[in-house]
Amino acid sequence: MAKLWGGRFSKNTNELVDAFNASIDFDKRLYHEDIRGSIAHAGMLAKCGIIPAEDGEKIIAGLKDILADIEAGNFHFDVALEDIHMNVEARLTERIGSAGARLHTARSRNDQVALDMHMYMKREVAEIAELLLKFEEALLTVAKKHEKTLMPGYTHLQRAQPITFAHHMLAYFNMLQRDFRRLLGVWEGADMMPLGAGAIAGTTFPIDRFMVAEELNFGTVYPNSMDAVSDRDYIIEFLSFSSTLMMHMSRLSEEICLWSSTEFGFVELDDAFATGSSMMPQKKNPDISELVRGKTGRVYGHLMAMLTTAKGLPLTYNKDLQEDKEGFFDAIDTVKFTLAVYR
């Protein structure tokens, strides 16, 4: 199969290289952002007179059809086409002919994938913010219910002074408020549009980046094309936020594990949020809290992996940056699941 980048090559890519090089198994979850970004790009190309208006209309209609197919489960993702961008563009050209090939005008996969990741980040940050607020509300509800419930406060895990359970819960509420503030910073870092940077130094076509940014609801555009295609600070910021949030959730989880033990006996877990033993029927295990505590290290690992990947890369794009996605996606899923199960 012909590659989008295959112009100078005389041999087909080795199948093992195709498999090792491909990212479609995990970046296919960017399909909505990829297609939405392409629709905005095609509209801009047509309005600026870079491609015929008729081709722009065909491209946009074809992309909408492909989006419907993917959402209906009627789209085959091909590893030989490497990533979500090439899978979509190949299918588009197959359906609408040469007009489909014009979609890649004034665009590189470098700025395209950066656009997808920025858009995906913004969508996920909004969903995480909602879950975080709901969990904060849950803590406030518990605190209100236990304004006069006394318990021992601890230092060095030794009983220190009497406190209320409400006071203890509000300590976690305050931690989450700081986490929410950090999440707002993540949003700000993601709210910059990289499209138009091309592979490294922009394009000679008379594009309108600000038109696309407005269409895609970005607050601003990157002022430097080299930074636009190589920046992964916003992902590192998200993973840093996620690590801090999970650290707070892990601390709470540790206390739940302690409090629900026979030795402490402060709380009893709801049957719907605990598990038992196949051998010892008297047990009620705090598996959810233990899993949150365990998954925290996994999120830490994603942060360290991303920092390590980025630390030695010269400008601009290097294939190493393909490694930004799997850990990022997993951290999103872990954070969302944790907040959902606790709220």
The sign one gets for the Cα dihedral 287, 146, 134, 302 is negative
- Sequence length of the chain is 343
The residue behind tokens 């000679």 is 204
Q: Which helix (H) or strand (E) holds 307?
A: helix 287-310
Name the nearest CA neighbour of 124 among 239, 201, 223, 251: 239
> What are 69's strand-pairing partners?
none
The token duo for 63 is 């992309």
Q: Which amino acid is at 314?
A: P
Q: What are the E-state strand segments in 167-215?
A: 192-193
Residue 47: φ, ψ to 5°: -65, -35
Cα 342 versus chain centre, distance: 20
Does residue 10 have an active-site annotation?
Answer: no
The sign one gets for the Cα dihedral 117, 122, 123, 127 is positive
Does residue 277 have an active-site annotation?
Answer: yes
Considering the candidates 277, 278, 289, 302, report the single residue annotated as catalytic: 277
Q: Are 216 and 37 in contact (CB under 8 A)?
A: yes
Q: Are 193 and 122 in contact (CB under 8 A)?
A: no
Considering the candidates 76, 98, 156, 278, report the single residue annotated as catalytic: 156
Active site residue ranges = 156, 277
